[in-house]
Amino acid sequence: MTGKMLINGALVDGAATLDVINPATGQPFITVARADQAQLEEAVAAARAAAPGWAALGYAARGVLIARLADAMAAEQDALAHLLTTEQGKPLAQAQGEVRAGIFQLRHYAAQTGEPIVLRETADCRIVEHRTPLGVVAAITPWNFPVLMVTQKIGPALITGNTVVLKPAPTTPVCALRIAELAAGIFPAGVLNVIVDANDLGGALSNHPDVAKVSFTGSTATGRKVMAAGADSLKRITLELGGNDAAIVLDDMDPREIAPKLFNGAMMNAGQVCLAIKRVYAPDAIYDELCAELARLAEAATVDDGTRQGAQIGPVQNRMQFEKLLGYLEDAEANGTVIAGGKPLDRDGYFIAPTIVRDIPDDARLVREEQFGPVLPVLRYTDVDEVIARANTGDYGLGGTVWGKDLDRAVDVAMKIDSGTVWVNKHLDLPFDIPFGGAKQSGIGREGGDEGLAAYTQGHVVNIALC
């Protein structure tokens, strides 16, 4: 692992360097290259120069190279998972799952064929839609899934014939740089470029005149800036933003059976998942028992350095998020009843005890805002229509879950939740061929599925007279 960036086919040092912190210790564990504005320009120029040749290769040849990157990742998947845990904090088993998913995802995209679609064929005309690449795609990724967010963007961008400048989050650039090292020997120069910043180049990348599309995953606040930055050159944008997903438990559920599913849905990756369960609504009849069961699971969970055997919940990823969560813990203490956790662990690193909060009002910050951490409010409801209205409150609409034995009733509730995805009796099932994305201010556009793939292309309709 050199920590170098990939620009125009070469692994290069940065104009500056960046220390990357292991969130389990709070200490730097590696120093990597960091770009300045001139290196960003080089990366965009290289991507632009490489675009026509890459587009001309066609799906099959591009797919071979993308599959080769997947193979290279597979050949070192344990080492990559270890790197992932060290920079991001998640337990090793979750990191292994993420790396595996990233590899599958690249293979899924490598297998796409991009066949033209015959829109109409009659005796006197034939109309065919081709999907052509956009040009240079800026892929800007967050720190919660440093491998999967990379494959999720470079896979569809590259297979459809675009070239890429990838900028990972400054607190988790290491896996992206390792993927860049692997890619350096695979793709033609300039097809994939990876640069690192210290949160100072995202703006310049997202309003660069030679960038045709920005695929961004991150906070709603930054997503707004990306959208504004794209206005001048009418960039295509895909924005996967924040969420405040409600889990609605119906009154025919057994609280003991449901509690572990809710707990995992809220605490996986220390709660740092856009689609995590961020608030639970439980009916009067089972409220007390469900709260007690969730608290028991929180107290029993092993919180530790993700590389340690048995760790179920790791640290949160960075100091800023850790401090933000301390604010939510204060809010929980002041406005609700904390029945498990409630404080950081007394050790180095950014560890927060998994926290369950009950009897907290809907207008508390912990309920209204996206906490993005292992702190879960559990709210009581009486009437199903009332709880649907409460779940739909606010500007977010990313995901949500409904849990009930009576499937018709559960599906009926799911239909009324104003979100891009609602799962019924399951959570976080995201096959690569199914589109997902946000309603309201949780995003624009979709990733995954045909819709997600099409978002990296533009339609090119050829309309032919046959007589």
Catalytic positions, please?
A: 240, 274
Give yes or no for residue 400 binding ligand ADP (CB under 6 A): no
Q: Which is nearer to ligand ADP, 108 or 167 (CB)?
A: 167
Give yes or no for residue 142 binding ligand ADP (CB under 6 A): yes
Q: How far apart are CA 325 and CA 321, in angstroms?
A: 6
The residue type at 307: T
Give yes or no for residue 324 binding ligand ADP (CB under 6 A): no
Q: Which of 2, 25, 77, 219 binds ligand ADP (CB under 6 A)?
A: 219
The residue type at 185: G
Give yes or no for residue 425 binding ligand ADP (CB under 6 A): no
Extended strands (E) in 288-410: 337-340, 355-358, 375-381, 401-403
Site size toward ligand ADP, by CB under 6 A: 15
358 within 8 A of 286, measured Cβ to Cβ: no
Interface region with ligand ADP, contact rule CB under 6 A, candidates 74-82, 222-230, 278-286, 356-364: 222-230
139 within 8 A of 148, measured Cβ to Cβ: no
> What number of other Cβ atoms are within 10 A of residue 260's Cβ?
12
48 SS3 class:
helix
Q: Which of 7, 140, 154, 196 binds ligand ADP (CB under 6 A)?
A: 140
In the complex, minimum distance from the CB of residue 166 to ligand ADP, in angstroms, rounded to a whole number: 10
Q: Which is nearer to ligand ADP, 203 or 449 (CB)?
A: 203
Give yes or no for residue 227 binding ligand ADP (CB under 6 A): no
Give yes or no for residue 172 binding ligand ADP (CB under 6 A): no
165 within 8 A of 195, measured Cβ to Cβ: yes
320 within 8 A of 363, measured Cβ to Cβ: no
Give yes or no for residue 218 binding ligand ADP (CB under 6 A): yes
Phi, psi (rounded to 5 degrees) for 29: -120, -10
> Residue 136 is inside which H or E element, if any?
strand 136-140
Tell me, letter by letter, the H, E, C secondary structure of 124-167. CEEEEEEEEECCEEEEECCCCCCCHHHHHHHHHHHHCCCEEEEE
| Nearest residue to the partner ligand ADP, using Cβ | 202
Q: What is the DSSP secondary structure assignment for residue 436, as one 8-state letter?
A: B
Give the CA-trace dihedral at 366, 310, 152, 57, to 10 degrees.
170
Q: How far apart are CA 29 and CA 45, in angstroms?
A: 32
In the complex, minimum distance from the CB of residue 127 to ligand ADP, in angstroms, rounded to a whole number: 38
Q: Which is nearer to ligand ADP, 23 or 142 (CB)?
A: 142
Give yes or no for residue 199 binding ligand ADP (CB under 6 A): yes
Q: Which is nearer to ligand ADP, 161 or 443 (CB)?
A: 443
Q: Which is nearer to ligand ADP, 57 or 227 (CB)?
A: 227
Give yes or no for residue 17 binding ligand ADP (CB under 6 A): no
Contact residues: ligand ADP, CB under 6 A: 140-142, 167, 169-170, 199, 202-203, 206, 218-219, 222, 225-226
